[in-house]
């Protein structure tokens, strides 16, 4: 497995995989740099000969009410959350189509499905991912490449841990299952869509949100 991230997340993921008995290589890349992304994908193919699975998981927030949102806040979020997926998928599709096999999984958000005040940029980027993946799924299905989306709800991450306890409680009241989700539950959904058991599933959005949006 090759783990790619903006920052230290890739190394942490690779270490966790190694600790569980797997093998992983951690590579860092700025996903908003198209040339760097294309070079990275080429490097993976040169070293390993193929690319089986792409999980597009880069994401940032720049939350602000619309009347106060800076254009740079909009541009940065769209560049990282949406345009980077375009660049990654375009580079990854070439070897996948040649091999007539592949799995592409994008991580969207419940906010991309239901919206959220103060997150117009984030919601637009995550909703855009859904439309992008549904369209791409239709384009590449004949080449046996599947494209799906996982849409997490409120998940315990570094981003959400920064929220005050009161805010977390407020969010939990909106979740029918009554609790915040875990990264392992998102990973399980991604693992399923990447597996042979999901070979007849494409163009779908798998919501993992505790019933927050139905």
User: Over the range 163-172, which residues count as b (16 or more CB within 10 Å of their CB) and which as e?
Assistant: eeeeeeeeee
Q: Which residues are CB-contacts of 78 (< 8 A; sequence separation ≥ 6)?
A: 121, 124, 125, 128
Nearest to 86 by CA among 118, 45, 54: 54
Detail the DSSP E strand segments found in 68-195.
102-107, 145-152
Nearest to 193 by CA among 153, 151, 158, 157: 151
User: Cα separation of 111 and 117, whole Å?
Assistant: 10
> From edge to edge, which strands make up the β-sheet containing 53-56?
53-56, 102-107, 145-152, 205-208
Which residues are identified as catalytic?
122
Detail the DSSP E strand segments found in 57-175.
102-107, 145-152
């Amino acid at each position: 497995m090759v783990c790619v991230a903006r920052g230290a997340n890739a190394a942490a993921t690779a270490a966790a995989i190694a600790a569980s008995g797997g093998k992983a290589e951690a590579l860092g890349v700025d996903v908003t740099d198209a040339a760097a992304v294309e070079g990275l994908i080429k490097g993976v193919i040169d070293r390993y000969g193929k690319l089986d699975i792409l999980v597009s998981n880069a994401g940032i927030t720049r939350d602000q009410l619309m009347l106060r949102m800076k254009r740079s806040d909009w541009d940065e979020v769209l560049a990282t959350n949406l345009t980077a997926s375009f660049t990654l998928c375009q580079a990854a599709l070439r070897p996948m189509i040649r091999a007539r096999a592949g799995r592409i999984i994008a991580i969207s958000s419940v906010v991309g499905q239901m919206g959220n005040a103060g997150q117009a940029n984030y919601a637009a980027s995550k909703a855009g991912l859904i439309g992008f993946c549904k369209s791409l799924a239709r384009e590449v299905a004949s080449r046996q490449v599947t494209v799906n989306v996982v849409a997490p709800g409120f998940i315990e991450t570094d981003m959400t841990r920064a929220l005050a306890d009161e805010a977390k409680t407020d969010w939990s009241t909106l979740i029918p299952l009554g609790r915040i989700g875990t990264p392992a539950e998102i990973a399980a959904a991604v693992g399923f869509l990447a597996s042979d058991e999901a070979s007849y599933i494409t163009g779908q959005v798998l919501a993992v949100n505790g019933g927050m949006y139905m």
